[in-house]
Amino acid sequence: MTQTSQPRREFHSGRGKKTFDRIPGGFYLVGALVILFEVVMLGAVGLALAVGDPSDDGASPDKESRRVEVTYIATGDHLSVNLTVGEANGNHEPHGVVILPYRKTVELAAGADFYLDVRSREDQEGGTLTCTVLVGGKVVQQAHSTPGSSSATCAGSTADAPQRGIPVPTLTPGASPLPEERRLTGTVKVPDYPGEGSPVIGTVTDSSLEYAELGGTWDRSKTLDPVFDGFTRKQEGRQRALVKSTQVDEDIMAAAGGTGELRGVAGAVMDERRRYEYPRDQAILVDVASQPLKVDGHDAWLLVSEIHFHKRGVPSTMDLNAVLVVDTGRVRPSVLWVVLPETNKKLWPDLNTLVASVQVR
């Protein structure tokens, strides 16, 4: 007789029961969600560290807040130049006309760009110009103008390494600053300048005026083409001294208001002479005399001004300018213009000689 085996029953005590069998089923879902959340957060943190903040340029807060001293230096054989400073990326700030030598120290962020351009003024091209930039007192860049250029430009970063063997330029005293402009509104008589002055060797007749022709260091008086020169007569003296005469043109009359008022016409002539005969934006007028006169019974006005300026290659920094406007009875008045440089004050008495000699013809 075949005996059938029965399934064996297993008995477990409560102590031996499996641990997982004691955990409620809902806790498995919660645990899985917690683990998934931690994985996502860790991934996001890692991605942020790898990519970085878009606003972060890679510099630490300490580096961003660190500042360095940057010194801009401009030197050369010009008395004055056009200067531009700023950042190498194009954010430039024109400083206008400055007197050489120029030196200025500013604070910039570490790693910031710098830019320095030293440029000859429009009517003073040529010569030598140098730009130098110091970071922390050491030269990081220096450039010089070339014979074919009229500027020197330094552009770089404050993180650039110092350049060895380049000394800091010696800043010798430059030109004295120009005075403030002063225009007379009242009447002030022209002074009697002391000295013998130049001899009178004849007379000049031009534009209804007759006046003295000077000798000594003066060249002979010559006729001019008014289309090209603006005057019809000229006499040249030593060191840029000049005597010119003509009839006041229509443009100057218009600039004076078109009324023919002689004081206004004299001022308009002086302003035009400054504009065309002296460096642009760098010539200061200081009136010393402004008075009415009678010339052969004709109304006239005399305006005398010091014009202070800096011009490369010109030793004088001030010229005495005189404008005598005479109503000759013609449609427009006639004018005598006199220039006497400060470097040759022996000629200043010639102004009194010329004014006293004027007659109407």
Q: What is the pLDDT of residue 96?
A: 84
**Secondary structure of residue 127 in the 3-state scheme:** coil
Model pTM score: 0.65
Whole-number Å distance between alpha carbons of 262 and 259: 9
List, in sequence order, every residue forming a beta bridge with 300; answer none if it has no partner. 293, 326
Q: What is the pLDDT of residue 11?
A: 41
Question: What does the buried/exposed string (b/e) look like for 144-162 if buried means 16 or more CB atoms within 10 Å of the residue's CB?
Answer: ebeeeebbbbbbebbeeee
**Secondary structure of residue 263 in the 3-state scheme:** helix
Of 155, 152, 186, the C-alpha closest to 169 is 152
Q: What is the pLDDT of residue 222?
A: 98
Q: What is the pLDDT of residue 30?
A: 47
Q: What is the pLDDT of residue 9?
A: 45
CA angle 337, 339, 340 (to 5 degrees): 145
Q: What is the pLDDT along the chain (361 residues), one digit of tens a residue?
A: 444 444 444 444 444 444 445 555 554 554 555 455 554 455 554 544 444 444 444 445 555 578 999 999 999 988 788 999 987 666 778 888 888 899 999 999 999 999 999 998 876 767 789 999 999 999 999 999 987 778 999 999 999 999 999 999 988 777 677 899 999 999 999 999 999 999 999 999 999 999 999 999 999 999 999 999 999 999 999 999 999 999 999 999 998 887 789 999 999 999 999 999 998 777 999 999 999 999 999 999 999 999 999 887 788 999 999 999 999 999 999 999 999 999 999 999 999 999 999 999 9
Q: What is the pLDDT of residue 314?
A: 85
Pairing of strands 129-135, 113-119: unpaired
Q: What is the pLDDT of residue 89?
A: 66
Q: What is the pLDDT of residue 90?
A: 65
Contacts for 300 with CB less than 8 Å, ≥ 6 apart:
262, 292, 293, 294, 324, 325, 326, 327, 358
Q: DSSP character for 347?
A: G
Q: Which two tokens stand for residue 151?
A: 């500027």
Q: What is the pLDDT of residue 252?
A: 94
Q: What is the pLDDT of residue 359?
A: 98
Instruction: Say how many CA atoms lie within 13 Å of 284 toward its Cβ.
Output: 12
Q: How many CB atoms lie within 10 A of CB 48?
A: 10
Q: Which two tokens stand for residue 260?
A: 């023919």
